[in-house]
Amino acid sequence: MRIMSYEEVPAATIANKGLDELYESATGFVKSFPIHPGGECAFTVDLRDDGAVVFPHFHDVDQYQVVIRGTGKLGAADIRPISFHYADAYTPYGPISGRKDGVEFFTLRSAEASGFYPVPKARSVAPCKPGRNLAGVFEHGPRPAPGECARSILVAPQPDGVAVYGIRLGAGARLEDDDSLAGGRYYVVCGGALEHAGRRYPLHSLAFAAGNEAAPDFRAGPEGAEVLVMQLPLPSARYASDPKNAAHRVTRAAPSS
């Protein structure tokens, strides 16, 4: 298991060169979180201007996205903190558009993507039909009493392990999670702070636990915490025609037997 504070990750300017089919924004930044084994799988995209847009596209890996700042649209749906979205590999989504001061979101993947595929231009290269687009909102709400943990199901567990949970913790409460992590779990601190191994991890800190690890030992800080938990899928026969992606999913995501 690895966890990183949002503040400790440096921001880099997004280069526009070669990405004109992916996004349009006057000012954009990215933070890469090296917490997932085997590649650049977790990062934030921060688009700062009114009218910024990420054009419709797909990737060759499964992924979640979590809005942490700003408002806008994902397709026809409104987005705001803390909206989340899951897309199977080869499943188009978008556009993502920001209002006023733009929008910032996490992208959290099961493996490193080989690039992006604009639609409709690249639709014919996908080796399978589009899969799931799942979305929801983790609403901010009152935190439980000190020492207590409240867990809500935001996306019911799917046959392949995909699931999303919202967890609210009272002051000092232990995050009650199980060891059934399917293809691994991402944890985003959406309010308050978590504590782990003597360190404090405030708002927008990110953690990852692989599918063959025990559930992380997190506790809330004195102000309590709100945590979005996103579970990745197990390997699927859906990707059998793509050796590269199938290999990623088996070696990086599957729990040991």
pLDDT score of 217 more than 90: yes
pLDDT at 235 over 80: no
Q: Which residues pair with 188 in a beta bridge?
A: 206, 228
For residues 2 and 243, what is the distance between their CA atoms, to the nearest angstrom? 28
Which domain range does residue 44 map to? 2-136
Residues 150 and 127 in one domain: no
Domain count, the chain: 2
Q: Are 192 and 219 in contact (CB under 8 A)?
A: no
Q: Is residue 246 part of a domain?
A: no
Residue 60 to residue 106: CA distance in whole angstroms = 17
Tell which residue, 27, 20, 66, 73, has the closest CA to residue 43: 66
- C-alpha distance from residue 11 to each of 114, 160, 167, 244 (Å): 22, 34, 28, 30
- The yes-or-no verdict on residue 124 having pLDDT over 90 is no
User: 153 with 168, same domain?
Assistant: yes
Residues 131, 145: one domain? no
More confident residue, 85 or 111: 85
On whether the CB atoms of residues 85 and 226 are closer than 8 A, the answer is: no
In a domain, 253, yes or no: no
The pLDDT-based confidence of 77 (bands split at 50, 70, 90) is: very high
